[in-house]
Amino acid sequence: MRHRWVAKSKLGAAAVGLAITAAACAAPGASGPAGSGGEQVVQTAVPGATCTFDKYNGKGVPKLDLKNATVGFAQSEKEANPFRIAETQSIKDEAAKLGIKLLTTNAESDLNKEISDIKGMIDQGAQALIVSPLNSEGLDPALDYAKEKNVPIMTIDRFLTTKKACTDYIGWVGSDFVEQGKRAFDALSAATGDECNLAVLLGAAGVNVTNDRQKGFEDQMAAKSSKMKVIAKQAADYERAKGQTVTAQLIQANPEINCIYAHNDEMALGAVAALKDAGKKAGDVKILTIDGTKGAVQGIVDGWISGVIESNPRFGPLAFKALGDFYGGAGVPEKTIISDKEYTKDNAAAELANAY
């Protein structure tokens, strides 16, 4: 049976966690294309924060029938990363399923290009947008342009911190990244007996994902009075090559390191490569990572990775449902949390086909 893990939202004292299933939810055990199928989510309903068309319409946004509309999707990073491949494919699959005309762009990790991409899709006739922000701040010129042109934006994955829901964008769908960090600590603690010399591979600076995954890990570490010793923390920007370089430097300077917390799978797989180059054997250094790519789950099967907390990239069904609810009158919560599974040595082989 395919397990579904529902993360508890920590996004506000007034939040109410409501488990729902997206209409396009794949059947348990299904292992379709990486981008296909919705997932069970926890929808965070904050009183007064639901964005409806009527609340947003003061800016002159025209009412749309999505089936006759043109929607644009702005991807932030090059699709060499499996997460981004699955994310984009999920958007494309759902648009095709609903018969919606879709424009797509890829900023290739360039903030100025993402701003230009968003403006360009609006100029090409996009009437609504789904945006995966590169950074949590800095997209203001694009958001302001969309607002000026009466084009509403639904955001996914990274959360915008400089603009307001229902004023500058409709809402947001993503993971509870703080909760991911807490679960990552718990899994690494269990794998190491809570005693190890830890190196942390941080994600990119200026991104809420990085801050939240580290905060969750450190908060849980303090709450559990952990005996882990933090030897080093260094950014590797979510990239495999940098993960390999940084890990090689860290273990050379600190040979006592015997556990690693990586903010994503690409950095973790880079760390595995560095450990192999250094003559380490599988299991010598315990690695806990976040994402859920096939490469990392295979790493569990092979013994190089101790566990993976999933960060679900299949936003398509939820993003288009949000747009439909916005135009249809049901309204969109400010924040919707997608569920994230967990891969362990006990389920990795069976779940490998369901990784992305």
Output 163-166 pairs: Cβ under 8 A, ≥24 positions apart: 163/139, 165/49, 165/51, 165/334, 165/335, 166/49, 166/51, 166/55, 166/56, 166/334
pLDDT > 70? residue 165: yes
pLDDT confidence of residue 344: 98
- Rounded to 5 degrees, φ, ψ at 220 are -70, -35
**What residue type is assigned to position 134 of the chain?**
L
Q: 83, 356 in Cβ contact below 8 A?
A: yes
Higher-scoring residue by pLDDT: 168, 48: 168
For 329, what's the count of Cα atoms within 13 Å in the CB-facing half-sphere?
0
For residues 147 and 22, membership in a common domain is answered with: yes
DSSP labels, 262-312? ESSHHHHHHHHHHHHHTT--TTSSEEEEEE--HHHHHHHHHTS--EEEE--
What is the residue range of 211's domain?
Answer: 177-310
pLDDT band at residue 78 under the 50/70/90 scheme: confident
In this structure, what token pair is assigned to residue 221?
């570490």
3-state SS, residue 260 = strand
pTM above 0.75, yes or no: yes
pLDDT > 70? residue 10: no
For residues 263 and 335, membership in a common domain is answered with: no
Give the model confidence (pLDDT) of 123-148 as tens digits: 999 999 999 999 999 999 999 999 99
For residues 86 and 126, membership in a common domain is answered with: yes
Instruction: State the average pLDDT for the chain.
Output: 88
Q: 191, 159 in Cβ contact below 8 A?
A: no
Give domain status of residue 1, yes or no.
no
Pairing verdict, β 342-343 and 307-310: antiparallel
For residues 152 and 224, membership in a common domain is answered with: no
For residues 87 and 158, membership in a common domain is answered with: yes
pLDDT confidence of residue 82: 93
Total structural domains within the chain: 2
pLDDT > 90? residue 103: yes
For residues 163 and 182, membership in a common domain is answered with: no
For residues 293 and 195, membership in a common domain is answered with: yes
